[in-house]
Structure 1
């Protein structure tokens, strides 16, 4: 029926727009923090959208299931909080490529994949919460420097988050753009006409593998791929988990040559496309994910204009908005970390991730996961006698 098609297409397009608008500035700032130039950030954002669109449409048409793919927002949070020395963006790209290779290696050994699913999600959630708490501290200096606009945007976001959560971030971002675009003598620093893609030759180092590849692999697996798999399964769609890991790992490794970080199964987009919001007929919901993929292809073409628009806003304010954007992710991570007993290893993982020094140039997120897992094993062994 025509009404059914309108619902399917509008739901898919809305899911893609919400997923993009609410988090694309987090992705960009993450790239900038690890050394990307504006043109490299444009290229990476465009290629990420391109891969998400092609993968979503291809998988959905081939399987008649609502597969939706996305960039790793938790991975972008790790990039935002990264404070270790890098030899340049090419070294970060090498880490992205190795993170995809880790996902490929995991997918090639199904038994390991089954064991990975048994690792307590509370520890990976606690590590992610620690990373996000470190990022949330950027809100205070931004408010001190720009109290008017940060206070206004935060108030609008909070009010809408309570009553209309799906539009809270897009509206807050629109108010922020409008404020700066109407300021006199404000000019974008990136030309909107730049829409090409740039190849980046990866540089592989042990330091970037430990500090970036492993944390990116872990948070993408536990915070994106596994939740995306569970959303599809809970909506009645049988999926082959190692197969999806293989595809997302291969896509990540290929896209990393253009400066992209991890690609993975979507969570929010998948929940909208695979649920009854799209259609009451389960056999038609793949059309919604195809519409989401088509929307991503359109946004890939306009990536340069979006980056140009973003460039007029001070980075401190963008980080403050990123903290707001990741508020629900932080709340979910804290909830999941303390959802099951024992609680103490998760709390230890959180505290180590936030406060632990970067020994041997290794980031605290890695130490938090490693020491938290060790604490978990010892504590459980003692508790069980």
Structure 2
């Protein structure tokens, strides 16, 4: 692995999509450059900042000040925090506010917040006047390493996660690592699951580096920027190869088929944050891979040890309210998976593992085998 950069160094990662290429700017304090960068991209533009109530307390005023210093008018649209805003009602609220603010096709929507805000604001931008450009300003670790990059936007249906949405690439991503200082420890840990995912799916050396350096990352040392940049480079490379998830991009869903089903079963509530669902899902994917003879048990144990070491849930029984109906039922979870976006003609697709650092796409997985596997895991802790 390369040596982590100093805090004073901002890092720029290019997402190579031809005419729609854009930069991810990573570093402490880079939010101050938002206005200057937006003015360079879109002279004379007007903006609307979509954010949530919690993020607004810390970062709305600095974002507005940066835009104002560059002579860019901004309207704020504030939603409630949490997955509840990624709904039909949340989309209506944001869309109507953008129309009322007279945001036109040549203007910009700015998503200031975590994954929920980014997905919601990005989807609203995608459908407003049949498409308005937007900028991602992710303020959570999960959003900085994953959801702000790649153009996936959307909302949840009561029947499943992210079932309504559009591919709509941002024109710029500003990832200010200072914003992570205001996250709760639980929120930061949940985001870390997505960082670990990049090592597990395609970079064994990065996973080993995380095992040795995660403490500095959690403390806010230089390892933090390094891990975010490494994650963004990994995702940018995959997105450049497969923007609309017709092939390799599905690998980014490691842990998500199980994880999304668990999120739906817990009502998209604070009982299970997205990253926590991904952590449990990655363990289940590893265990299922081992059961199929694809992955050594020693790798499964290593994955569980690392995720548990940083405080993430690793077993179904770690989820709050585990015994409640719909979570402890293998058939109910399998029914949730049948609504997953990766299902093709009713056949399940899973991202499984052959080794740490080597994930594979497994098409047409036998549902009966998955059901039997879940029943065993639901009945025990390890």
Same fold, TM-score > 0.5, yes or no: no
Point out the structure with the larger helix share.
1
TM-score range, shorter chain: under 0.3
Which of 1 and 2 has higher RCO (CA within 8 Å, sep 6+)?
A: 1
Point out the structure with the larger strand share.
2
Normalization by structure 2: what TM-score?
A: 0.24
